[in-house]
């Protein structure tokens, strides 16, 4: 397990050997069942599904609360609870819930694997999307909203055509924070018998295989960084051009570490 | 909720009461792991923040590097450390400390940058040297912002400590992992609940600390 720096071999040659094993691992384990292509796909499936489900619920809710200006206390408590609840605990708590669901609901065949992972990631993704959407919509300049109303458009139109586009950089930041948190937490799904890239780390811990552990960690880290980059890039498609690059400063305040 | 007294009870208080010693030991371990991480994190952040303030060119690389640490998923970071430092407290602490750095450095620098230039001028006019200016004027005035950062770092760290159960540490995270392995709800709920309680208590303690450290702010604004 731990390297012994005073061993017969020098640290340099041990490192070279390790890197060689690592390269070999990446060549040998890419395809087939349990290969890292399949694991990456599983990882993306559960992450994508939970993020989309969370966005479908949290964006309209956040926009509506932000539009009416009500429910500020909900936002504050969501932020606080979201920060204090450990992601590991959320994943673990999802398990008894989904096992109970599988027992009660006839068409759910298994309470293990995808379902608890999905439920946990969904719960994890909700707060950043909801709070950012709320803050974004609520923070739209009231004069702009008044001007829109003065032009005689309906409240729904105000929300859809003025407030949401104006708030889009902040909403997208919320989606990005959630997406990165989800991709970074999905490895814990391996603990509730899901696949995904976490399998390599968790199984590597169990069989004390350092090469597999580091390979899994590299893949998880890479996927997180790529998610971050992809969402930063997507700004150019979703945000009207004069509003781009204004949401950066919000990052540190709301971002969960997982 | 079902109030059965047998094994399928949703939460078994009898288990909790018969394991109070274990629970207390894990809570203490959790506090120690968190405390060490915050202590070292704060010390390192102070040094790096001072470097960043003295040499503004060094600040972007500092935030860049600590930002990378912040982006790496915790499980991956612990996994990178395991081949080097094994299933040890050291692995846990290296990971935990690295997650506090970005938050603390940014808040220390923001706090000190936010000190009213007029106050700084007045102190310099009164003959304060750079060191006294920093220790007696800038640092105390920046305290609310620094403690705001410390609160985020503390709550985050308490949560991350639970994950170190996977590398043999974990504090109350031990119960979460054990509950998962044994399908025992009581342990899962207990571990998660205790983690939340520890986070809230620590956060409140820091609020009180801020109140104690900034007597001048009491009359003007309520404690947030």
CB contact under 8 A, B75 and A93: no
How far is C-alpha B211 from the geometric centre of its chain's CA atoms? Answer: 19
Q: What is the pLDDT of residue A245?
A: 58
Q: Taking residues B113-122, what's their average pLDDT?
A: 93
Given a cut of 70, the residues of chain A with pLDDT beneath it are 1-9, 244-258
Q: Taking residues B158-180, what's their average pLDDT?
A: 95
Best mutation target, A21, A39, A80, A86, to test chain B (most B CBs within 10 A): A86
Min CA distance, B85 vs chain A (Å)?
5
Residue B11 belongs to a domain: no
Residue A162 CA to residue A148 CA, distance in Å, equals 7
Give the closest residue to A238 by CA, choosing from A172, A161, A145: A172
Q: Which has more confidence, A75 or B155?
A: B155
DSSP run (H or E) holding B24? helix B20-54
Residue B152 CA to residue A64 CA, distance in Å, equals 28
Tell me, yes or no, if A88 comes closer than 8 A to chain B by beta carbon.
yes
Give the closest residue to A62 by CA, choosing from A1, A6, A139: A139
CB contact under 8 A, B159 and A85: yes
Q: Which domain holds residue B185?
A: 20-213
Written as six digits, the tokens of A10 are: 């020098």
Please say if the pLDDT value at position B218 is more than 60: yes
Q: What is the CATH number of the domain that holds B47?
A: 1.10.3720.10
CB contact under 8 A, A86 and B167: no
DSSP run (H or E) holding A216? helix A210-238
Q: What is the pLDDT of residue A251?
A: 46
Q: DSSP character for B87?
A: S
CB contact under 8 A, B155 and A84: yes
Residue B133 belongs to a domain: yes
Q: Which has more confidence, A32 or B83?
A: B83
Please say if the pLDDT value at position B202 is more than 80: yes
Q: What is the pLDDT of residue A242?
A: 75
A 38-77 residues with CB < 8 A to B? none
Please say if the pLDDT value at position B77 is more than 80: yes
CB contact under 8 A, B75 and A220: yes
How far is C-alpha B201 from the geometric centre of its chain's CA atoms? Answer: 12
Residue B41 CA to residue B37 CA, distance in Å, equals 6
Residue B14 belongs to a domain: no
Confidence of residue B4 (pLDDT cuts 50, 70, 90): very low
Q: Taking residues B185-193, what's their average pLDDT?
A: 95
Chain B residues in contact with A225 by the CB 8 A cut-off are 71
Residue B141 belongs to a domain: yes
Q: What is the pLDDT of residue B219?
A: 64
Q: What are phi and psi of A109, to 5 degrees?
A: -85, -35
Written as six digits, the tokens of A230 are: 């992809």
Residue B133 CA to residue A117 CA, distance in Å, equals 52
Residues 6+ apart with CB under 8 A from A187: A43, A196, A197, A198, A201, A202, A216, A220, B73, B75, B76
Q: Which domains does chain A have, with CATH numbers?
A: 33-254 (1.10.3720.10)
Q: Which of B163, B167, B200 sits opposite A88 (nearest CB)?
A: B163
Interface size, chain A vs chain B, as Cβ–Cβ contacts under 8 Å:
142
Tell me, yes or no, if A214 comes closer than 8 A to chain B by beta carbon.
yes
ipTM of the complex: 0.85
Residue B93 belongs to a domain: yes
Please say if the pLDDT value at position B5 is more than 60: no
**Number of domains observed in the structure of chain B:** 1
Residue B210 CA to residue B215 CA, distance in Å, equals 9
Min CA distance, A205 vs chain B (Å)?
8
Q: What are phi and psi of B114, to 5 degrees?
A: -80, -5
Q: Which of A180, A183, A258 sits opposite B74 (nearest CB)?
A: A258
Residue B100 belongs to a domain: yes
């Amino acid at each position: 397990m731990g390297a012994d720096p005073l061993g017969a071999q020098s640290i340099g040659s041990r490192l070279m050997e390790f890197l060689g094993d690592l390269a070999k691992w990446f060549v040998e384990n890419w395809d087939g069942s349990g290969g890292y292509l399949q694991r990456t796909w599983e990882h993306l499936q559960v992450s994508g599904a939970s993020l989309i489900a969370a966005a479908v619920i949290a964006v309209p809710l956040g926009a509506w609360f932000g539009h009416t200006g009500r429910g500020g206390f909900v936002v504050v408590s969501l932020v606080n609870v979201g920060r204090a609840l450990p992601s590991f605990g959320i994943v673990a708590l999802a398990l008894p819930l989904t096992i109970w669901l599988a027992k009660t609901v006839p068409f759910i065949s298994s309470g293990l694997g995808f379902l608890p992972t999905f439920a946990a990631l969904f719960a994890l993704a909700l707060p950043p999307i909801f709070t950012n959407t709320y803050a974004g919509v609520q923070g739209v300049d009231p004069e702009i909203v008044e001007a829109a109303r003065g032009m005689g458009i309906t409240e729904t139109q105000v929300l859809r055509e003025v407030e949401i586009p104006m708030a889009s950089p902040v909403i997208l930041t919320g989606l990005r924070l959630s997406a990165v948190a989800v991709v970074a937490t999905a490895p814990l799904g391996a603990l509730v018998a899901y696949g995904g890239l976490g399998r390599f780390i968790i199984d590597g811990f169990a069989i004390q295989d350092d090469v597999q552990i580091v390979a899994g960690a590299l893949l998880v880290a890479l996927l997180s960084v790529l998610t971050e980059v992809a969402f930063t890039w997507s700004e150019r498609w979703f945000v009207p051009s004069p509003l781009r690059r204004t949401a950066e400063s919000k990052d540190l305040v709301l971002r969960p570490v997982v | 909720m079902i109030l059965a007294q047998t094994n399928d009870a949703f939460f078994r208080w009898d288990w909790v009461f018969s394991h109070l010693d274990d629970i207390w030991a894990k809570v203490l371990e959790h506090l120690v792991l968190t405390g060490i991480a915050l202590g070292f994190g704060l010390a390192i952040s102070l040094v790096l923040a001072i470097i960043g303030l003295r040499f503004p060119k060094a600040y972007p690389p500092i935030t860049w590097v600590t930002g990378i640490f912040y982006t790496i998923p915790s499980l991956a970071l612990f996994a990178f450390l395991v081949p080097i430092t094994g299933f040890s407290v050291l692995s846990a602490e290296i990971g935990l400390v690295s997650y506090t750095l970005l938050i603390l450095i940014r808040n220390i620098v923001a706090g000190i940058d936010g000190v009213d230039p007029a106050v700084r001028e007045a102190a310099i006019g009164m003959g304060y040297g750079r060191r006294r200016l920093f220790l007696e004027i800038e640092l105390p005035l920046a305290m609310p912002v620094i403690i705001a950062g410390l609160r985020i770092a503390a709550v985050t760290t308490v949560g991350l400590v639970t994950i170190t159960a996977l590398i043999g540490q974990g504090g109350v995270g031990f119960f979460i992992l054990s509950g998962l392995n044994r399908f025992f709800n009581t342990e899962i709920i207990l571990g998660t609940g205790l983690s939340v309680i520890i986070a809230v208590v620590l956060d409140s303690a820091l609020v009180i600390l801020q109140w104690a450290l900034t007597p001048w702010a009491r009359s003007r604004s309520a404690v947030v």
